[in-house]
């Protein structure tokens, strides 16, 4: 009996050992079956390194004691790693070719260049020069100058201490609140015209500009969705007349400035065209109208069904009445006046034609440039115009700090320690324009050669003198047509 129990006990122990062995073997076998397969485990996680900009600046910057080869060896350790840093926005790409570039300052000038992917356009629009941002990106290129690193796959997490998500949420909330406000105010509007009562402002320009303007981080598609809730709403705003339509096709249009450039386009009905004739450039006007077309750029929107209530501190009705009375008085005086043949003074007839400020109409395009060729500007301020220097100085005030887009020929370019990055451009003869660039444009400037035709933009800062050329700052090259190499005639 005892012997039989021992046999059963041993049999049980052996069975347990066999079971455990089988389980272990199966587990190891299962692991080995899949070990050569690389299954996707979801989104790839970027490899961040906890190193500050200052740390890397000590290694790779201008004052590093490492040799070139030592820097290259050290760079291999950091290349393609992700970093999270804080810095100041120093510039944003302005053309369609470099919209995805943002320069960041950590100590002096631009130290980091961020390259953004297509899906980050909205974030770039939200930042401005001087903003303090927290950003991430992949270390991709090492430079040997003040601009030290290029980061690709860039992203912005905070702007001036507020997360991008919070900024977007706030914009959405502002849009909803502004719309609710307009719907409440509509209850007191004129039932026939739909216009708000005197003194009531349903929607402010600044409020809409935050949501739909050039610096909004909301995507254009989302802007257009939200705009449908605003289209047809009436506004009462105050702004500065920036231009009046000059052509036959746009006599009923006027551009209004609220911040910089032209921000609102007014479209007057046929019976209101006389209002366009009444206003002048730089007039401060109070106007009403209906939100029509969204542009979502520096030019925010178009307003239809426009009416002007005040010019400066005078009511439009008072101004129109005064003008009508003056016209009537003029007609009466002409009827009673004997028209005499004018006396011609030879010295006066030979005097240079004086251009007055009132004679100038500056039209600004939606992207912030004035419609003015180099030749048109030079007819006013060039050597051929015989106005006095004082008269030219007075007129220049109308053009100073305006942005232009011109095409000319490269005569010279270079970079000085004091003078900075500059280019001489010919339009007629010799150096007609001196174009000044920020340092981060060095690569595009040095790509040009004498004789190249370039289309460029810049801000007018100094008019030309008898010898010195026009000076433009904030230069940017939009396109280059390379000069054709000279071909020597071969003898037959």
Question: Which domain CATH number covers 281?
Answer: 2.40.50.140
Q: Which of 291, 318, 345 finishes a domain?
A: 318
Boundaries of domain holding 455: 365-481
Q: Which helix (H) or strand (E) holds 134?
A: strand 132-142
Q: Which of 160, 178, 210 finishes a domain?
A: 160
Q: Which of 132, 160, 188 finishes a domain?
A: 160
Residue 148 lies in a domain: yes
Q: Which helix (H) or strand (E) holds 157?
A: strand 149-159
Looking at residue 97, what is its pLDDT? 72
Strand ranges in 325-447 using DSSP code E only, listed in sequence order: 403-416, 420-426, 433-437
Structure tokens at 43: 């989104």
Question: Which has the closest alpha carbon to 218: 171, 157, 176?
Answer: 171
Instruction: Bin 408: left if φ > 0, else alpha if -120 < ψ < 50, else beta.
Output: beta
Residue 21 lies in a domain: no
What pTM was computed for the model? Answer: 0.39
Residues 176 and 301 in one domain: yes
264 C-beta neighbours (distance < 10 Å), count: 26
Residues 211 and 92 in one domain: no
Residues 184 and 309 in one domain: yes
391 C-beta neighbours (distance < 10 Å), count: 16
CA 300, CA 265: separation in Å to the nearest integer?
A: 8
Residue 13 lies in a domain: no
CA 482, CA 492: separation in Å to the nearest integer?
A: 29
Residues 146 and 209 in one domain: no
Per-block average pLDDT, block size 10, for the chain (492 residues)?
Answer: 56 56 44 36 64 92 87 92 93 76 88 90 81 93 86 92 78 58 45 44 77 78 84 92 69 87 89 86 92 86 92 86 56 44 41 57 78 89 81 86 93 80 91 91 90 94 85 92 68 46
Residues 154 and 184 in one domain: no
Residues 302 and 394 in one domain: no
Residue 410 lies in a domain: yes
Residues 179 and 280 in one domain: yes
Q: Residue 110 contacts by C-beta under 8 Å, 6 or more apart in sequence? A: 90, 91, 103, 104, 146, 147, 438, 439, 440
Q: Is 130 helix (H, G, I), strand (E, B) or coil?
A: coil
Residues 211 and 123 in one domain: no
Looking at residue 174, what is its pLDDT? 57
Residues 114 and 216 in one domain: no
Residue 270 lies in a domain: yes
Residue 339 lies in a domain: no
Looking at residue 33, what is its pLDDT? 32
Residue 25 lies in a domain: no
Residues 306 and 388 in one domain: no
Residues 306 and 170 in one domain: yes
Residues 152 and 184 in one domain: no
Tally of structural domains, the chain: 3
Question: Which has the closest alpha carbon to 309: 237, 368, 224?
Answer: 237
Residue 207 lies in a domain: yes
């Amino acid at each position: 009996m005892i012997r039989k129990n021992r046999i059963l006990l041993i049999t049980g122990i052996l069975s347990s050992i066999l079971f455990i062995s089988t389980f272990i073997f199966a587990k190891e076998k299962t692991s080995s079956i899949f070990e050569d397969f690389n299954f996707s485990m979801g989104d790839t996680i970027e490899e961040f390194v906890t190193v500050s900009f200052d740390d890397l600046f000590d290694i790779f910057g201008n004052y590093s004691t490492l040799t070139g080869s030592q820097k290259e060896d050290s760079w291999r350790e950091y290349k393609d790693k992700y970093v999270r840093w804080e810095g100041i926005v120093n510039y944003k790409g302005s053309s369609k070719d470099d919209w995805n570039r943002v320069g960041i300052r950590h100590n002096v000038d631009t130290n980091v260049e961020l390259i953004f992917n297509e899906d980050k356009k909205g974030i770039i629009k939200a930042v401005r020069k001087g903003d303090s941002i927290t950003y991430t990106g992949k270390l991709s290129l090492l430079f040997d100058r003040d601009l030290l690193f290029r980061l690709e796959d860039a992203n912005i997490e905070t702007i001036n201490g507020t997360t991008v998500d919070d900024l977007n949420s706030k914009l959405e909330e502002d849009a909803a609140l502004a719309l609710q406000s307009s719907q409440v105010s509509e209850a007191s509007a004129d039932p026939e015209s739909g216009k708000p009562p005197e003194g009531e402002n349903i929607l402010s320009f600044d409020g809409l500009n935050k949501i739909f303007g050039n610096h909004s981080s909301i995507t254009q598609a989302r802007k257009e969705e939200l705009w449908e809730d605003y289209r047809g709403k009436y506004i009462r705003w105050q702004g500065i007349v920036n231009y009046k339509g000059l052509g036959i096709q746009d006599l009923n249009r006027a551009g209004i400035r609220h911040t910089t450039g032209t921000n609102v386009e007014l479209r007057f009905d046929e019976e209101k065209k006389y209002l366009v004739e009444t206003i002048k450039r730089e007039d401060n006007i109070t106007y009403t109208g209906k939100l029509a077309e969204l542009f979502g750029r520096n030019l925010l929107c178009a307003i239809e069904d426009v009416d002007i209530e005040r010019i400066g501190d005078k009511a439009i009705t008072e101004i129109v009445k005064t003008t009508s009375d003056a016209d009537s008085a003029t007609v009466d005086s002409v009827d009673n006046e004997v028209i005499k043949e004018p006396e011609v003074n030879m010295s006066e007839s030979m005097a240079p034609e004086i251009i007055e400020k009132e004679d100038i109409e500056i039209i600004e395009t939606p992207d912030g440039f004035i419609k003015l060729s180099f030749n048109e500007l030079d007819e006013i301020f060039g050597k051929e115009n015989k106005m006095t220097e004082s008269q030219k100085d007075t007129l220049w005030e109308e053009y100073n700090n305006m942005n232009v887009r011109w095409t000319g020929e490269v005569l010279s370019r270079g970079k000085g320690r004091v003078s900075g990055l500059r280019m001489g451009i010919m339009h007629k003869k010799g150096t007609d324009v001196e174009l000044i660039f920020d340092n981060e444009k060095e690569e595009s400037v040095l790509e040009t050669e004498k004789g190249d035709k370039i289309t460029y933009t810049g801000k007018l800062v100094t008019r030309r003198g008898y010898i010195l050329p026009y000076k433009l700052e904030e230069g940017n090259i939009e396109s280059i047509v390379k000069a054709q190499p000279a071909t020597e005639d071969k003898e037959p």
